């Protein structure tokens, strides 16, 4: 059974042109390009949440060097 769902989105023409160019150069469809982009963004958000939870838990029971390292990692990644 197929789990794919077809949706309609509105994007600026310029963005679509860039997406089409990039997806063609990678040998993928526009749908595959958008799916990969969404998966990457969701993974980054999940990783950031995990780091935030780790920092919070370690702040409650700190090992200061680990807290500092996690904070550096959060700042390095920025606010995605």
Does residue 40 belong to any structural domain of this protein? yes
Task: Give the domain extent around 26.
Answer: 13-77
Does residue 3 belong to any structural domain of this protein? no
Structure tokens at 19: 């997406």
Provide the whole-model pTM: 0.65
1 has pLDDT over 70: no
Structure tokens at 49: 């949440």
Q: pLDDT tier at 66 (50, 70, 90 boundaries)?
A: confident
Does residue 62 belong to any structural domain of this protein? yes
Does residue 23 belong to any structural domain of this protein? yes
Q: Dihedral (C-alpha) 29, 31, 33, 37: value to the nearest 10 degrees? A: -170
Q: How many CB atoms lie within 10 A of CB 4?
A: 6
How much is the pLDDT for 80?
55
| CA geometry: angle 72, 78, 38, nearest 5 deg | 130
Residues 54, 75: Cα–Cα separation, whole Å: 14
How much is the pLDDT for 35?
95
Does residue 8 belong to any structural domain of this protein? no
Q: Rounded to the nearest 10 degrees, what angle do helices 13-26 and 30-60 cross at?
A: 90
Does residue 2 belong to any structural domain of this protein? no
Does residue 4 belong to any structural domain of this protein? no
Question: How many domains is the chain built from?
Answer: 1
Does residue 30 belong to any structural domain of this protein? yes
């Amino acid at each position: 059974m197929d789990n794919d769902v077809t949706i309609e989105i509105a994007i600026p023409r310029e963005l679509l042109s860039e997406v089409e160019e990039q997806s063609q150069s990678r040998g993928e469809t526009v749908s595959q390009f958008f799916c990969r982009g969404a998966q990457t963004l969701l993974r980054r958000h999940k990783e950031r949440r995990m780091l935030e939870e780790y920092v919070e838990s370690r702040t409650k029971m700190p090992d200061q060097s680990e807290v500092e390292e996690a904070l550096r990692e959060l700042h390095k990644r920025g606010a995605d």
